Chain A
């Protein structure tokens, strides 16, 4: 275990070789990162180009940035932004109202069925949206929920509820059990434990979960495309209107896409530590 090499010469050579190897690996890391970032950078650059520059071949790298594209994109961007915000925040709130009590009960009063209930909730994520879209579409049509924000909120809540329960369950089980026991000895009710202990002690977890839920709802495409058309169309539907533009409005498309992507990028960068936990449903912390 502790054989320390006695000859100093090979150690020195080893050290310089390791140094070179490390530098090479670091350069490779930078290059891969740049390659992965390039499509986004290219899009953000195009947002500040004229249409001719964005469309130019060979591509233009040096140009005078303009704000024209954003000005042109904004009138149709704002209604979609409003819809996206309402759908994302509304569904996150509803998922919290339904999910927080469930997470609390499963964490603090685990019965023999608790693990089974959690697994069942996760299993609803294995239900592809295409397995439910046909009846939902017909139901929504009959209930006049097509192309409405409440309809979208209902579906995004379904999408985010298992996430909220799993993540909040994982945060609430981290609260020392002794705190609950002390409260119980003093005769605290279930509601007092929930509002007085579980909620205040898991606020950081709630913030992280909310951030993730908003990101998922914001980026959702399938329900948005199939259940809305104009009045309630969120950003994903707005962006998809550029798919048939035959490449005539690349700069304007880039500006709209940049405005759509930027909030989520910032959210994701801020919440990156919690991202892992949320994405793996608490399996990897």
Chain B
């Protein structure tokens, strides 16, 4: 109510002179655009530029132009292909798990039961935890082969102690990141479910629809947009996973959990190989954008068909 008072005072003010120095709408947009161009576009073109040079910070004065040499090195070494594969497995595996667990949890939370609000609130917690905290807590207190909680659980069930991060490094990292990102999927999917009118479900039930039919014909069409938002946002974020790996496995053992961001970090800040790191950065950007543009197109298409129908 009190906020409404403001516009009335504005309208009551005497007409301002039309001429003179005035802020134009375009002038309001430019600072933000310029800032983003300077801090994202310009450095990216510099990355592209560096990627064509054999440039190592250890020998800064000698940096010959080698064309696509860095790209050739990256794409012909089978070890590096494993890094690309790791990136995709990590992002894809986590995405699928979060969609299923988050979706199931969203359906469970879309019912009336005692403590629903509290459960919903507490469920988002793991998403709010700083990735590096997730990494050090999981690595030490949960996944430690001798003193970790999970090893104790396995041992009390009569199993052999497991060195999770050494024996199942990728699965452990995926589990860790799934723990972080499931609440995100759950929140978005729950909001999507809540936009579904109850009477539609009721009508279907009265018409004798089975739970499966109900899900397929009523829930799913309503859910598509929410699912696409989850897929798009998570794809962009999960291709950039860094803190969880930095804090837990450091990309190891060997290359087992090295993804593109961690690989670039190693090349640039451990080996000072600016040229190669830049080329890998360019490849990551291309990979992310191809996937994101494809997913965005898909979202726009469904939105349009929803509006049309």
Give the interface of A toward B (CB within 8 A).
Answer: 1-3, 22, 25-26, 28-30, 32-33, 36-37, 39-40, 42-43, 46, 54-59, 98-99, 101-102, 104-106, 108-109, 111, 117, 119-121, 123-139, 154-155, 157-158, 161-162, 165, 179, 182-183, 185-194, 196-197, 200-201, 203, 215, 218-219, 221-222, 225-226, 235-236, 239-240, 242-243, 247, 250, 253-254, 257, 260-261, 264-265, 267-269, 272, 275-276, 279-281, 283-285
Contact = CB atoms under 8 A, between A and B. Distances in A.
Contacts of B65: none
A225 B244 CA distance: 12
B77 interface: no
Interface string B130-159: 111111111111101011010110001000
A181 to B, nearest CB: 10
Interface stretch (B39-47, B78-86, B166-174): B39-47
Contacts of B14: 186-187
Given A101-B29, A240-B132, A261-B129, A201 B16 contact: no
B210 interface: no
Q: Is the interface of A mostly helix, strand, loop or mixed?
A: helix
Given A36-B182, A268-B128, A57 B146 contact: yes
Interface residues of B, number: 114
A119 B35 CA distance: 16
Contacts, number: 336
Contacts of B274: 134, 138
A250 B147 CA distance: 11
B258 interface: no
A161 B124 contact: no
A133 B183 CA distance: 29
Nearest to B264: A130
29 contacts: A33-B122, A40-B125, A58-B152, A98-B31, A102-B33, A105-B28, A105-B29, A109-B25, A123-B289, A124-B41, A126-B288, A127-B44, A128-B288, A130-B240, A130-B242, A130-B265, A132-B44, A134-B278, A135-B50, A161-B35, A182-B7, A182-B11, A190-B25, A192-B13, A219-B129, A221-B131, A240-B243, A247-B144, A280-B188
A36 B105 CA distance: 11
For the residues of B in contact with A, the DSSP-based class is helix
Contacts of A33: 119, 122-123
B147 A132 contact: no
Contacts of A264: 128-130
A252 B207 CA distance: 60
A6 B137 CA distance: 58
Contacts of A275: 124, 187
Contact of A188 (B16, B25, B35, B188): B16
Contacts of B281: 128, 130-134
A241 to B, nearest CB: 9
A280 B185 CA distance: 10
Contacts of B115: 30
A124 B32 CA distance: 12
A99 B136 contact: no
Contacts of B126: 36-37, 39-40
A183 B179 CA distance: 50
A80 to B, nearest CB: 12
Contacts of B152: 57-59
B264 A133 contact: yes
